[in-house]
């Protein structure tokens, strides 16, 4: 009898998991000490890695650099990679090692030596999409690519409970619906599953230019829905740290 009960439980769990169509996202953050490192890495991404990802059916990949170009600050590059399942997290890297076209096109980057590395370090964040936006969306933008602004936000919570309330605020509370009504062109909303700072959620919106970005946020904070939502007692103190990262897409980015 116990075996039957266990079998039924596993079957139900598998069915529930299969019915959940939420995507997973990888965000890779490259840190560079000098411009030559970034040049080598970007040539690799554009000519070897991105084409290999496209051949494997992953085509809505974002490649971004922070707005501004202060040479006194260490350079960074962000990769946004949408995945249909957790299996893709490790499957893709394994398959790349068997892809001779990729290995040939990316040889300069792949074969860099310890004394001339192509980056300082790579940070990786794994996210799961929010229930109210289970799949990423390619934004509808009409302005010049060089002017476009992608805004990546990170909201940390002081406790798991408060973090969950912030996630609820986006979903059940209607924050995602408000962003959609105000045409923020959201790319994704995601719960961070692994990263250096937890608990945490991240999301990305996009705009034709910086002026449009500022106008949209002005409309957001003045919207009646936001004033009502942000005043609710259950949603107070849900964010302990906010990071706002403004990004420009690279010319070879899918987004």
Domain residue limits at 34? 21-249
Cα 140 from chain centre: 17
In this structure, what DSSP letter does residue 68 have? S
- DSSP symbols for 141-197: --S-GGG-EEEEEEEE-SSHHHHHHHHHHHTTTSHHHHHHHTT----EEEEEEESSS
Q: Is residue 255 part of a domain?
A: no
Query: Global pTM?
Result: 0.89
Q: What is the pLDDT of residues 163-204, one digit of tens each?
A: 999 999 999 999 999 999 999 999 999 999 998 889 999 999
Judge whether 192 lies within some domain: yes
Q: Does 162 fall in a domain?
A: yes
- In this prediction, residue 38 carries a pLDDT of 96
The pLDDT of residue 8 is 44
Q: Is residue 105 part of a domain?
A: yes
Nearest-angstrom CA–CA distance, 190 and 131? 9
Start-to-end C-alpha separation, the chain: 53
* Predicted pLDDT at 163: 97
> Mean pLDDT over residues 37-44, rounded?
97
In a domain, 4, yes or no: no
Tell whether 7 is covered by a domain: no
Longest dimension (CA), the chain: 68
Listed in sequence order, the DSSP H helices in the chain are: 2-19, 35-44, 50-55, 87-96, 100-105, 107-110, 160-170, 175-181, 210-222, 224-231
Distance CA(252)–CA(213), nearest Å, equals 22
Overall domain count for the chain: 1
Cα separation, 193 vs 129, in Å, equals 10
In a domain, 254, yes or no: no
Whose CA is closest to 110, among 90, 96, 121, 92?
A: 96
Give the tokens for residue 198: 């937890």
Give the SS3 label for residue 109. Answer: helix
- Residue 60's pLDDT is 96
CATH code: domain of residue 104: 3.30.70.100
| Mean pLDDT on 53-61 | 94
In this structure, is residue 240 part of a structural domain?
yes
pLDDT at 6 over 60: no
């Amino acid at each position: 009898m116990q075996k039957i009960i266990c079998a039924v439980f596993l079957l139900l769990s598998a069915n529930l998991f299969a019915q959940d169509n939420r995507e997973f996202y990888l965000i890779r953050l490259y840190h560079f000490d000098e411009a030559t490192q970034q040049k080598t890495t970007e040539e690799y991404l554009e000519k070897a890695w991105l084409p290999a990802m496209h051949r494997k059916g992953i085509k809505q990949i974002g490649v971004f650099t922070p707005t501004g170009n202060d040479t006194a600050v260490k350079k960074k590059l962000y990769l946004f990679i949408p995945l249909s399942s957790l299996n893709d997290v490790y499957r893709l890297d394994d398959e790349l090692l068997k892809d001779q076209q990729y290995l040939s096109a990316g040889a300069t980057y792949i074969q860099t030596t310890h004394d001339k590395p192509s980056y300082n370090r790579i940070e990786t964040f794994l996210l799961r999409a929010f229930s109210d936006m289970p799949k990423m969306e390619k934004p509808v933008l009409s302005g010049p690519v060089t002017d476009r602004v992608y805004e990546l936000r990170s909201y940390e919570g002081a406790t798991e409970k408060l973090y969950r309330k912030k996630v609820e605020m986006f979903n059940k509370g209607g924050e995602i619906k408000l962003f959609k009504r105000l045409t923020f062109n959201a790319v994704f909303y995601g719960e961070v599953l692994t990263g250096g700072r937890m608990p945490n959620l991240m999301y990305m919106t996009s705009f034709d230019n910086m002026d449009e970005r500022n106008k949209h946020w002005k409309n957001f904070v003045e919207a009646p829905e936001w004033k009502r939502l942000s005043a609710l007692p259950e949603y107070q103190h849900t964010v302990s740290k906010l990071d706002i990262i403004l990004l420009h897409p690279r010319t070879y980015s899918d987004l």
